[in-house]
Every structure is written in C-alpha cells, then in structure tokens.
Structure 1
Amino acid sequence: MTTEHDGVRDLLAAWAFGALDPADRRTVPLHLAECESCAAEAQRLREAVRLLDGPASNGPGRRPAAGILSGALRTRPAAPRVAPHAAPYAAAVAGLKALLPEIEGRWSTPVVHDWDVHATLAHLLAADEHLARLLALDTRLPLSRIPHDTDWGEAWNARTAEVIAHEYGRTPEETVADWAAQADELLTAPEALDPEPAARVVTLTGVRLPVADHYVVRAFEAWIHTDDIGRALGLAVPPPPEAHLWQLVHLAVRILGLALGRDAAPVLFSVTGGEQWVLGSQDDPVRAELTLDPVDFCLLVGGRHTPDEVPRGTSGDEDAAQNVLDQASRLAWL
C-alpha cells in the first residue's frame, strides 16, 4: 500500500503550484514539518515555480509557461492515489491534462516525427492500449488488423498508424476524452493500486518486465510526449518530480544493462546526484567513466538527445563510453 510519505511526495508538484486539493492542504504541511527530504524537495520545486513565474514570457501576448501550468493545475482533477510504481504515470497523466487547455485551437501544430498535436494524443492512446489490453481492460479503439506474429517494433508503429488514421476521422476532443478515460482505467486497475498483482511478469514493447515496471514505461512516454507538445507550443514543461525521475532512471539503467550484455567493455556509469553502476562486463577492469544528468539521460533514452549532442562527462576509453551512449539511444521507441 502507498505510505503517507509516498503520498505526500506525489503531491509536492501540486503544493509548489499552490494547487493542492482542500483535503491535502493540512496533511502536506504537517508532513513537511517532520520530513527533511520532502521539505527540501518541496522548497526546490517552489523555487523553480517562482523563477518560471517571473517576468520572462514566451513571446508577445503569451503568459509565462509556469503561470499557464499553475492555473491549469489549480483546476485539474486530483491525481488518483496509487501504489508507488504507478505514481509516475499518474503524475504524467495529470501533467498532460493540465496542458490541455493551452492546446485548444492548436491541434494541427507540428510536434514530433510527422505528427501534429492531435496525432500525438492518438499515439498515446494507441501506446497505452497495449498495457490496457494486457490487463483485460476495455478499450475504445477498433481491433487491430496487424498479424499476431509481427515483430513488436513493426507492430508498435503499425498500430500507431492505424489509430492515428482512425482518430483523424474524429474530433481532437473525442481523442482526448478516450485517452483520458483509458488512462483513468489504467490508474484504477488493481495492478495500479496493489504491488502484488503488479509483480506479474509480462512482455510488452519487446521487453519482459513486471507489470509495475510497465507502468513506469508508460509514465516515461507520457512525460516525453507532453514535453514534445509543450516545446511545439512554446511552453516549458517541467521534468517529473525528483522521486519519479529516479524511478525512470533506475528502470532505464536496468534495461540498458540488459541491452549491453556482459560482453561489452565495462563502463562506470553515473547519473548526477544519484548512483553509479558498472555496465557491460562484470569480470574486467572498468575501461571508462561516463556521467549524465538524469533528465538528459532520460531524453537520450527517449530519443530526444542524440549520442553526440547529449551533455556528458567522460574519461578513459572514449569508444567504450560511446558504446553506452549509442546503445542508450537505440532503446528509444517514442
């Protein structure tokens, strides 16, 4: 079950924006008075909001990005209370819902790949559908015509294309309503509320992981595409709250380690402000050291940084470090 500490950490972004629900306005300050780590994170988030809400604007006639998100967060429904493994997805869904009022009338704005905003929401609807079907949830999309033995990467892209074509025959508001309803069902499923059923290991997106980890994958994608939309509209989307960001980092490192295998030249990989891991061979001396910022690492894994442009610190064998960066970028399917 979710502890009070976990529950408060999930509410810190709303606290920073002054967007807590009335029921939480007493609980959160009381916890902050007793918990040093939550208090430090809360202060960091509030300072970030203060800076973003300053005099800089996003262009003539545009409100500051944080001011937009602050107002949206004050009117959004509260994120559901879920188990810790589903909390990043709940927060990412709430973040995209908070951005929706700014999208009105701008659905055809180009975003990423060859998608506009409408198509990007349709892609998220299609992407979440894979987990929804696996959990035996009702979905709102026509059945796929893709053969079951299709390679997962080809099937992923083909299903996105099917769904985008289908959603272009509907209004953007209808697409958003179905995406939001499907996300809400994922967040009220037993697997989102209880770690025990979420421990079941299943294969999605070409990787075999517990259902709990697949919720973190969904959080990763929802945040990346929310950031894509924000950039396209000239709005700054904040990174996930620190606790959620580290859940994304830890999962990405685990998958990266599996992808590199035990024959790769060993590299000591560090994420700024966090942990370090030896990736590659565990039997040979470390050949290189590589350090990335956690957000930059996630953007690399998400395909939004290239191996050559991502800011990094390196020492030792450049080829060994480059191999880790190249492999990380090849994990991207977003």
Structure 2
Amino acid sequence: MPTASLLESTSPASREAPCVTVVCGDTRDAGDEPSASGDVHAAADGERVSVELSGTGIRGGESGASGRRTVVVPPACFYRGFLSGVEYAQAWAAGGRFSSLVRRLPEEDQFEAFPDYLVKAAGPAGHWFYPTCVLDRFPSAEAYQAGYRAFRALHDVVFVLDGEPAPAGQVIPAESLAQLAYEETDLPAGVVQWNPRLAGTGATLVGVDTWVWVDNPVLQVEVTAQIPGLSATVTSVFDRLRVEAEGADAVTCQGTPGTAWVEGATTNCAVVFMRSTANQDVKDGQSLPTVTLTATSRWQASWTSSATPGVNTVMDDPQTVVYTAEIPVAEIQTLVTT
C-alpha cells in the first residue's frame, strides 16, 4: 500500500495541513525537495518563536537611532501534538476509525499507519506529534505549498514520551520575517517649518513663495527581523513630500523633504497662499486665525534576506507619515502716495 499523499494534495485554501481528524501516516513524498525560500528551523518554544528586531526604525525607539527589542510570534510550520500511543493503535484496530477509513478511500488516497505504532502503544505512555503548517502565516498560497513541502521533507511524525518536551522544528518564512519588520517599522516623525515666518506671529505672507520643509529629516531607516539562521531586513527610503493647504495649490516635492531657508538657497518645495486667514475663526489651541498645512511624506520599502543575498524585493504598499502645522497667513500692507 502506498503511503498517503493527503497532505500534499490538500487545497491551498486549507487553513492548516490536515491530520487532526485524519492521520495521514508517513505522507512525506520522497520526490519533494526543500525550497530555497529561506525557511529555517528555530528552537522550539511551544507554538511561539522569539524574533529579535533591530535597526534605526524600531517602533517605539528614538527617531533615527538604532534600537533593539524582541517580539514573540506564532511559527508558520511546527509540530502539533496528536493522539496518544494507545489511542492511535485503537484507531487502527479492527473497527477503528483509521482502519475503517482506508477501506473507503480511493487507491490514490490510501495511507499507512505510523511506523512501530504497536510498539509505541505497548511501551511507556506518550503522544504522537505531526508536522503541520498554517496558510494564514504565509504571505501567499504558493508560499504555503512550497513551505509545507519543504518542512515535510525534513520533518516526520515523532513519538514523544509524556513529560518530555515537544519536538523542535519551527519555521518562519523569510517573507514573513520581512512583513514583520515592515509592520514594526516606525518612520521618523518631524516638525514642519516654513518661511517667511514673521516675528511674533509666525505668519507667512499672501502671494509669495512659502518654503516648507521637515526639520532635521531622516531619509532612510532599516529594521531587521532575525531568528537563529535567518534574517530579513526592510529598508525604508524617503521618496517624496506632498504639501497641501486650503487657499494654495498643492505641490509634490520629489526626492526631498524640503530645504531649510537660508539666504541664496533654492527649493522645489514651496506653496503660494492666495488669501489671508485674517477673517477665519481662531481654532482651539491657537491665538490667531490659521490655515492647516498638511505635509505627507511617502516612503518606499524594500527587503532583503540572508536566504537570498543580493535579491532586493520592493514591498507593495508605500509607507506614509503625515505632518501638520497651523500657519497664520497675513497680507502685505502697502502705502500708496501721490
């Protein structure tokens, strides 16, 4: 009788490889080869894996400064406890659920019992553990299928005596480490500045170029997510700044967070206000009527992995940070004489 291939033939939509209600026997296909996706085996810790995060973009750290912390996440593949040795033997006895099941299955779905299961049932008490993977913990169904086959190529069912630790063998794909690093990236905050800025009021002027910039900008941050034997690094690079305010045409400042004003400098990040805020209501927390200026920085993230050195993969979703400032806008008063 051939060994079962139920696990390998499972639909990608399955949330977890089966064997909870049906034990598939030795389902590893000798023709399956581990993928080069960067799967790695971390030390067992229940059904959790400690991931070390480090870099200049660590969430909760000081902007632009290198930091380090550890998070605990569920692995994508791991060993799960199943039936005891006695329960498993009973399932294969005459009239048991597995012996009854194999008689009803088509030939291509037939499966055999775990090796030495009767010996294990007659010996010291213990439980069977089987290798499994969870679809939701992979970035795609294709990655799940490849990761599962790779995991099964290196891990078989294991009988563990009661009181002994569960078998080691947990996997987090490189893509999942990269996603974790992306989600844990804290893009640098900043303060929006502008010029002209009249002394005493901070007001800019109607009809002139108002320079806008982010003070002390950080243009690149990195976060690395690492487990033993595998790491993924996400690099977020500043791309552009979009400046918008009521009463002024919006402007996109490509490749720059603006230029701080100094005599003789130039900028491509300026807006022109067409009317004063003198007749506007005074907003909470302000002493003068103001207009809200919104500056949105857009960042492009990419990632690399120790599993595939030199390969740089761009993340699908750009990252953004929104800055706001309340700016009074004054008119230039002129005196005309004849």
TM-score bin (small chain): under 0.3
TM-score (norm 1): 0.21
Larger % of helix: which?
1
Find the structure with the greater CA-based Rg: 2
Task: Return the structure number with greater relative CO, CA threshold 8 A, min gap 6.
Answer: 2
